[in-house]
Amino acid sequence: MKRYYRELAASGEMLTGVILQLPSEELAEILAHAGVDVIILDTEHSPTGYEKLVSLIRACETFGALAFVRVPSARDEAAIKRALDAGAGGIMIPNVDTAEDARRAVEYAKFPPLGRRGACPFVRANAYGGEDRTDFYAKANAETAIILLVESPEGIRNLPEIVKVEGADMLQIGTVDLAVAMGLPGQTEHPEIMEALHRTAALCAEHGRHMAWYCGDAVSAAALRETPGVGMLVLPFPEIAIHDYYAALNRMMKGEQKAP
């Protein structure tokens, strides 16, 4: 069952998302069955290659999750095109530093007249040509969603212009990269980082965009559900959840840690 970002956003409900780095169809199905709305398949920091994308996207769709793909770069036109041709409902663009980066992403992700995405109606995104071969382009332009990932001090300075770029749907602050770039490695909740997050939410609310906000736990998520501009809460990486759960369980099994 394929879903679309604008259909989900129009419901007015807070969405949940997660970034999946392991190229595992089974894990994608587990996350989708657990009710996660958006699964972002990472091809920037993971071994996931193009050959895996179709089966991962199909696994997301099995239980109704919307599949996005995080591509390596805003400048990687081929990666953007392949992800969308494979049937991804949207893309996440990392390292967006300027409005020009954002415009380039829209240009590569949209067909004319909105962009210059290469046209082929015989791709999986159009049921291999089985759907309407004339309306496919306008339909894809309307349904394809774009998340801009801002990860640098330059990007933070340029937020007022980046948020205005037409065709982009959502912004997210990459707090890990931003903290490292600011000389604050690991301090993703530093006051300067938090100020950037809240400023982004305010700008998104002002300009009719949504913000995706990474949450480390349910307590922080609860505080964000009523924040204007925030449209999606990004859950902890599955890899972290698996590691930390089994590390704690292992310590308890060995008597090194008491059960909570």
Which residues participate in catalysis according to the annotation? 45
Closest CA to 53 of 82, 93, 92, 77: 82
Site of tokens 């774009």: 146
List, in sequence order, every residue forming a beta bridge with 172; answer none if it has no partner: 149, 212
Angle at 225 between CA 221 and CA 228, to 5 degrees: 130
Distance between CA 88 and CA 202 in Å, rounded? Answer: 28
- In degrees rounded to 5, what are phi and psi of residue 230? -80, 120
Indicate the residue type of 19: I
Which residue intervals of the chain are DSSP H helices?
Answer: 5-9, 25-33, 50-62, 77-85, 99-109, 136-143, 153-157, 159-162, 175-181, 191-207, 218-224, 238-253
Structure letter (DSSP) for residue 76? -
Distance between CA 259 and CA 115 in Å, rounded? Answer: 55
